[in-house]
Structure 1
Protein backbone atom coordinates (compact mmCIF):
# COMPACT_ATOMS: atom_id res chain seq x y z
CA UNK A 1 0.00 0.00 0.00
CA UNK A 2 1.12 3.54 -0.65
CA UNK A 3 2.50 5.45 2.28
CA UNK A 4 1.41 9.00 3.02
CA UNK A 5 3.38 11.85 4.50
CA UNK A 6 2.90 11.81 8.27
CA UNK A 7 2.16 15.53 8.32
CA UNK A 8 -0.19 15.61 5.31
CA UNK A 9 -3.70 16.97 5.71
CA UNK A 10 -5.12 13.50 4.96
CA UNK A 11 -2.98 11.84 7.64
CA UNK A 12 -3.80 14.53 10.21
CA UNK A 13 -7.53 14.25 9.46
CA UNK A 14 -7.36 10.46 9.61
CA UNK A 15 -5.68 10.54 13.04
CA UNK A 16 -8.23 13.02 14.36
CA UNK A 17 -11.27 11.24 12.91
CA UNK A 18 -10.40 7.82 14.34
CA UNK A 19 -10.38 9.27 17.84
CA UNK A 20 -14.17 8.86 17.62
CA UNK A 21 -15.03 5.23 18.42
CA UNK A 22 -17.88 5.07 15.92
CA UNK A 23 -15.77 6.52 13.12
CA UNK A 24 -12.95 4.11 14.02
CA UNK A 25 -15.36 1.17 13.70
CA UNK A 26 -16.85 2.36 10.42
CA UNK A 27 -13.35 2.94 9.05
CA UNK A 28 -12.48 -0.71 9.74
CA UNK A 29 -15.44 -2.05 7.75
CA UNK A 30 -15.87 0.81 5.27
CA UNK A 31 -15.29 0.34 1.60
CA UNK A 32 -17.29 -1.00 -1.26
CA UNK A 33 -16.62 -4.70 -0.65
CA UNK A 34 -15.43 -5.13 2.95
CA UNK A 35 -18.82 -5.75 4.59
CA UNK A 36 -19.77 -8.21 1.86
CA UNK A 37 -16.48 -10.10 2.24
CA UNK A 38 -16.86 -10.22 6.02
CA UNK A 39 -20.43 -11.48 5.63
CA UNK A 40 -19.36 -14.29 3.26
CA UNK A 41 -16.61 -15.38 5.67
CA UNK A 42 -18.99 -15.54 8.64
CA UNK A 43 -18.64 -18.99 10.18
CA UNK A 44 -16.44 -20.46 7.47
CA UNK A 45 -13.08 -20.41 5.75
CA UNK A 46 -12.88 -19.63 2.05
CA UNK A 47 -10.14 -19.67 -0.52
CA UNK A 48 -9.52 -16.70 -2.80
CA UNK A 49 -11.15 -18.43 -5.77
CA UNK A 50 -14.24 -19.22 -3.68
CA UNK A 51 -14.54 -15.59 -2.63
CA UNK A 52 -14.09 -14.50 -6.25
CA UNK A 53 -17.00 -16.75 -7.29
CA UNK A 54 -19.19 -15.12 -4.63
CA UNK A 55 -18.52 -11.69 -6.19
CA UNK A 56 -18.34 -12.05 -9.97
CA UNK A 57 -18.21 -8.27 -10.51
CA UNK A 58 -15.17 -7.60 -8.31
CA UNK A 59 -11.77 -7.62 -9.99
CA UNK A 60 -9.07 -9.89 -8.63
CA UNK A 61 -6.97 -6.83 -7.84
CA UNK A 62 -9.77 -5.20 -5.82
CA UNK A 63 -10.49 -8.44 -3.94
CA UNK A 64 -6.79 -8.74 -3.13
CA UNK A 65 -6.63 -5.13 -1.90
CA UNK A 66 -9.74 -5.50 0.25
CA UNK A 67 -8.50 -8.77 1.78
CA UNK A 68 -5.11 -7.20 2.54
CA UNK A 69 -6.75 -4.20 4.18
CA UNK A 70 -9.01 -6.46 6.27
CA UNK A 71 -5.97 -8.53 7.27
CA UNK A 72 -3.98 -5.40 8.22
CA UNK A 73 -6.92 -4.20 10.32
CA UNK A 74 -7.09 -7.51 12.17
CA UNK A 75 -10.47 -8.50 10.75
CA UNK A 76 -9.37 -11.40 8.55
CA UNK A 77 -6.83 -14.14 9.15
CA UNK A 78 -4.92 -15.46 6.13
CA UNK A 79 -3.50 -18.97 6.38
CA UNK A 80 -1.02 -20.27 3.81
CA UNK A 81 -0.57 -24.04 3.69
CA UNK A 82 2.78 -25.48 2.59
CA UNK A 83 1.42 -27.46 -0.34
CA UNK A 84 2.05 -27.53 -4.06
CA UNK A 85 0.26 -25.58 -5.36
CA UNK A 86 0.02 -23.40 -2.24
CA UNK A 87 -3.39 -23.25 -0.60
CA UNK A 88 -4.51 -20.03 1.06
CA UNK A 89 -7.62 -19.71 3.20
CA UNK A 90 -9.27 -16.66 4.70
CA UNK A 91 -11.37 -16.60 7.86
CA UNK A 92 -12.71 -14.06 10.31
CA UNK A 93 -10.75 -13.17 13.40
CA UNK A 94 -12.41 -13.03 16.80
CA UNK A 95 -12.65 -9.25 16.45
CA UNK A 96 -14.55 -9.55 13.17
CA UNK A 97 -16.83 -12.27 14.54
CA UNK A 98 -17.95 -9.88 17.29
CA UNK A 99 -19.45 -7.54 14.71
CA UNK A 100 -21.77 -10.23 13.26
CA UNK A 101 -24.82 -9.34 15.41
CA UNK A 102 -24.33 -5.67 14.52
CA UNK A 103 -24.33 -6.56 10.82
CA UNK A 104 -27.57 -8.47 11.31
CA UNK A 105 -29.20 -5.47 13.00
CA UNK A 106 -27.87 -3.11 10.34
CA UNK A 107 -29.24 -5.40 7.62
CA UNK A 108 -32.67 -5.44 9.25
CA UNK A 109 -32.58 -1.65 9.54
CA UNK A 110 -31.59 -1.37 5.87
CA UNK A 111 -34.37 -3.69 4.76
CA UNK A 112 -36.97 -1.78 6.76
CA UNK A 113 -35.93 1.64 5.55
CA UNK A 114 -35.20 0.68 1.95
CA UNK A 115 -38.82 -0.42 1.63
CA UNK A 116 -40.03 2.84 3.18
CA UNK A 117 -37.92 5.00 0.88
CA UNK A 118 -38.72 2.88 -2.17
CA UNK A 119 -42.43 3.65 -1.75
CA UNK A 120 -42.13 7.25 -0.62
CA UNK A 121 -39.44 8.59 -2.93
CA UNK A 122 -40.96 10.95 -5.48
CA UNK A 123 -40.09 10.47 -9.13
CA UNK A 124 -37.46 12.96 -10.17
CA UNK A 125 -37.76 14.89 -13.40
CA UNK A 126 -34.55 15.80 -15.14
Structure 2
Protein backbone atom coordinates (compact mmCIF):
# COMPACT_ATOMS: atom_id res chain seq x y z
CA UNK A 1 0.00 0.00 0.00
CA UNK A 2 1.78 3.10 -1.21
CA UNK A 3 0.72 6.58 -0.15
CA UNK A 4 1.78 9.92 -1.50
CA UNK A 5 4.78 11.45 0.22
CA UNK A 6 3.61 13.96 2.80
CA UNK A 7 6.45 14.01 5.31
CA UNK A 8 9.40 16.35 4.99
CA UNK A 9 13.04 15.66 5.80
CA UNK A 10 15.06 18.62 7.04
CA UNK A 11 17.94 17.87 4.66
CA UNK A 12 18.59 15.94 1.48
CA UNK A 13 18.63 12.25 2.47
CA UNK A 14 21.84 10.24 2.22
CA UNK A 15 19.99 7.57 0.27
CA UNK A 16 16.52 6.52 -0.74
CA UNK A 17 16.66 3.37 1.40
CA UNK A 18 13.43 3.25 3.44
CA UNK A 19 15.29 2.36 6.65
CA UNK A 20 17.71 5.25 6.12
CA UNK A 21 14.81 7.65 5.41
CA UNK A 22 13.06 6.55 8.61
CA UNK A 23 16.28 6.94 10.57
CA UNK A 24 16.87 10.43 9.19
CA UNK A 25 13.30 11.45 9.99
CA UNK A 26 13.04 10.22 13.58
CA UNK A 27 16.22 8.36 14.39
CA UNK A 28 17.62 10.90 16.85
CA UNK A 29 17.66 10.28 20.58
CA UNK A 30 14.38 12.05 21.44
CA UNK A 31 11.89 12.12 18.56
CA UNK A 32 10.35 8.71 19.18
CA UNK A 33 10.19 9.44 22.92
CA UNK A 34 8.17 12.60 22.19
CA UNK A 35 5.86 10.71 19.80
CA UNK A 36 5.51 7.95 22.41
CA UNK A 37 4.44 10.44 25.07
CA UNK A 38 1.86 12.09 22.81
CA UNK A 39 0.61 8.71 21.57
CA UNK A 40 0.58 6.49 24.65
CA UNK A 41 0.62 8.96 27.58
CA UNK A 42 -1.83 11.42 26.00
CA UNK A 43 0.41 14.41 26.65
CA UNK A 44 -0.10 17.34 24.31
CA UNK A 45 1.33 20.49 25.89
CA UNK A 46 4.97 21.51 26.19
CA UNK A 47 4.90 21.51 30.01
CA UNK A 48 3.15 18.13 30.13
CA UNK A 49 5.72 16.64 27.78
CA UNK A 50 8.63 18.17 29.69
CA UNK A 51 7.43 17.14 33.15
CA UNK A 52 6.19 13.71 32.09
CA UNK A 53 9.28 12.56 30.24
CA UNK A 54 10.81 9.88 32.44
CA UNK A 55 14.05 10.11 30.51
CA UNK A 56 14.59 13.75 31.53
CA UNK A 57 14.56 15.65 28.25
CA UNK A 58 15.93 19.20 28.47
CA UNK A 59 13.52 22.01 27.60
CA UNK A 60 15.64 23.27 24.68
CA UNK A 61 15.87 19.74 23.24
CA UNK A 62 12.12 19.22 23.62
CA UNK A 63 11.46 22.52 21.87
CA UNK A 64 13.78 21.54 19.00
CA UNK A 65 12.20 18.09 18.63
CA UNK A 66 8.66 19.52 18.66
CA UNK A 67 9.70 21.97 15.94
CA UNK A 68 11.31 19.16 13.93
CA UNK A 69 8.35 16.80 14.30
CA UNK A 70 5.91 19.57 13.37
CA UNK A 71 7.97 20.65 10.36
CA UNK A 72 8.26 17.05 9.17
CA UNK A 73 4.50 16.47 9.40
CA UNK A 74 4.48 13.95 12.23
CA UNK A 75 2.86 16.37 14.70
CA UNK A 76 0.54 19.30 14.19
CA UNK A 77 0.52 22.38 16.41
CA UNK A 78 -2.70 23.99 17.66
CA UNK A 79 -3.41 27.04 19.80
CA UNK A 80 -5.00 26.41 23.19
CA UNK A 81 -8.34 28.20 23.14
CA UNK A 82 -8.25 28.64 26.93
CA UNK A 83 -4.69 30.00 27.21
CA UNK A 84 -3.38 32.25 24.46
CA UNK A 85 0.28 31.48 25.12
CA UNK A 86 -0.11 27.69 25.12
CA UNK A 87 -0.25 25.25 22.25
CA UNK A 88 -1.13 21.59 21.93
CA UNK A 89 0.62 19.05 19.76
CA UNK A 90 -1.44 16.39 18.04
CA UNK A 91 -0.56 13.31 16.07
CA UNK A 92 -1.03 13.32 12.31
CA UNK A 93 -2.20 10.33 10.31
CA UNK A 94 1.44 9.58 9.46
CA UNK A 95 2.36 9.31 13.14
CA UNK A 96 -0.76 7.29 13.95
CA UNK A 97 0.43 4.84 11.28
CA UNK A 98 3.54 4.35 13.46
CA UNK A 99 1.50 2.42 16.05
CA UNK A 100 2.16 -1.08 14.63
CA UNK A 101 5.95 -0.64 14.30
CA UNK A 102 6.18 1.05 17.73
CA UNK A 103 4.24 -1.82 19.29
CA UNK A 104 6.59 -4.29 17.58
CA UNK A 105 9.64 -2.39 18.87
CA UNK A 106 8.14 -2.26 22.37
CA UNK A 107 7.48 -5.99 22.42
CA UNK A 108 10.93 -6.75 20.99
CA UNK A 109 12.63 -4.50 23.55
CA UNK A 110 10.68 -6.01 26.44
CA UNK A 111 11.83 -9.46 25.31
CA UNK A 112 15.51 -8.68 24.79
CA UNK A 113 16.24 -5.70 27.04
CA UNK A 114 15.68 -5.05 30.77
CA UNK A 115 12.40 -3.17 30.22
CA UNK A 116 10.15 -2.14 33.09
CA UNK A 117 7.17 -4.55 32.90
CA UNK A 118 4.68 -1.78 33.70
CA UNK A 119 6.04 0.37 30.86
CA UNK A 120 6.09 -2.60 28.47
CA UNK A 121 2.45 -3.46 29.18
CA UNK A 122 0.73 -1.17 26.62
CA UNK A 123 2.70 -2.62 23.70
CA UNK A 124 2.23 -6.17 24.93
CA UNK A 125 -1.51 -5.65 25.40
CA UNK A 126 -1.90 -4.22 21.90
CA UNK A 127 0.09 -7.07 20.39
CA UNK A 128 -1.89 -9.67 22.32
CA UNK A 129 -5.14 -8.10 21.11
CA UNK A 130 -4.09 -8.52 17.50
CA UNK A 131 -5.12 -6.42 14.53
CA UNK A 132 -8.51 -5.52 16.01
CA UNK A 133 -6.96 -4.05 19.18
CA UNK A 134 -4.40 -2.13 17.15
CA UNK A 135 -7.08 -0.81 14.78
CA UNK A 136 -9.31 0.25 17.69
CA UNK A 137 -6.40 2.09 19.36
CA UNK A 138 -5.52 3.83 16.09
CA UNK A 139 -9.17 4.83 15.56
CA UNK A 140 -9.24 6.28 19.09
CA UNK A 141 -6.08 8.26 18.33
CA UNK A 142 -7.72 9.57 15.15
CA UNK A 143 -10.76 10.73 17.13
CA UNK A 144 -8.62 12.44 19.77
CA UNK A 145 -6.00 13.97 17.48
CA UNK A 146 -7.33 14.36 13.95
CA UNK A 147 -10.97 15.17 14.67
CA UNK A 148 -10.06 17.34 17.66
CA UNK A 149 -7.66 19.26 15.41
CA UNK A 150 -10.39 19.84 12.84
CA UNK A 151 -8.65 17.70 10.21
Q: Look up the match of 1:123.
A: none
Task: Assess, with a 3 A threshold, how the Cα gap between structure 1 residues 83 and 24 changes in structure 2: closer, same or farther.
Answer: same
Map 1:79-98 onto structure 2 (within 5 A): 79-81=78-80, 85-98=84-97
Q: CA shift at 1:26, angstroms?
A: 2.2
- The equivalent position to 1:42 in structure 2, one of 32, 39, 44, is 39
1:16-73 per-position Cα deviation (integer Å, ceiling 9, x unaligned)? 32x1112112222211111111011116451100001112621110000011111111
TM-score normalised according to structure 1 size: 0.71
Larger % of strand: which?
1
SS of structure 1 residue aligned to 2:113: helix
Q: Look up the match of 1:33.
A: 30
Map 1:1-126 onto structure 2 (within 5 A): 14-17=12-15, 19-42=16-39, 44=42, 46-55=44-53, 57-81=56-80, 85-114=84-113
TM-score normalised according to structure 2 size: 0.60
Whole-angstrom distance in 2 between the partners of 1:99 and 1:84: 30
1:98-126 per-position Cα deviation (integer Å, ceiling 9, x unaligned)? 011110101111121225xxxxxxxxxxx
Q: Could you say which structure has the larger radius of gyration?
A: 1
Whole-angstrom distance in 2 between the partners of 1:76 and 1:34: 11
Aligned residue pair count: 102
